[in-house]
Amino acid sequence: METTEKVVEAYVRYIKGWATIPNVKCKGQYEIDLLAIDPKTGDRYHIESTVSVSRKFSKLTDDPFDPARYKQPVSKAPQRRTIEFFHVRKFTPQEVLETLAGFGFREGNYERVVVSWDWTPEAEEQAALLGIRLWRFPDILNRISETLEGTRTYFTDDTLRTLQLFARAQDR
């Protein structure tokens, strides 16, 4: 599990209070980053993360996804930054849908979410048309920091504990 995926899981688990299942393997080469369920409402979420600190790859775009270009090493990164990539490779493959169904996730009873540093306005429009919700990673970090500010709770989750210590260090 990548660090950014751990941060997103810590956010939905400890800040939002949702139950989570990370790194769900599917048939073929597919994997779901995170499944989450809000136990209060029963709302379900299929969450994928794509966070890059590189300015060149920090924003999601509405560029077309080309499976042939995705297989070329030099084109892989830009292809992974498109809304269509998430639609085609992460949310709609039959192998993914079958795995989701095994957890009770069926079309119309869950939300699809992509976590990214940022996105273009056109990507936001395209995501909305495809039924994909976008969450900003910096907003997640800020929300975690605000929630943990001043708390004395000892978290055994390494990711949340690290963020808690960082938030405290920033509080000087």
The CATH number linked to 73 is 3.40.1350.10
> How many domains is the chain built from?
1
| Lowest mean pLDDT segment, chosen from 142-146, 148-152, 155-159, 168-172 | 168-172
Give the span between the Cα atoms of 154 and 151, in whole angstroms.
Answer: 9
Residue 136: the pLDDT is: 96
Band the pLDDT of 123: cuts 50, 70, 90.
very high
- Is 13 a residue whose pLDDT tops 90? yes
Is 106 within a domain?
yes
Is 172 within a domain?
no
Residue 151: Cβ-neighbour burial (10 angstroms; 0-12, 13-18, 19+): exposed
Residue 22: Cβ-neighbour burial (10 angstroms; 0-12, 13-18, 19+): middle
Is 157 within a domain?
yes
- For residue 104, the enclosing domain spans 3-167
Give the span between the Cα atoms of 67 and 28, in whole angstroms.
Answer: 16
CB-based contacts of 129, cutoff 8 Å, min separation 6: none
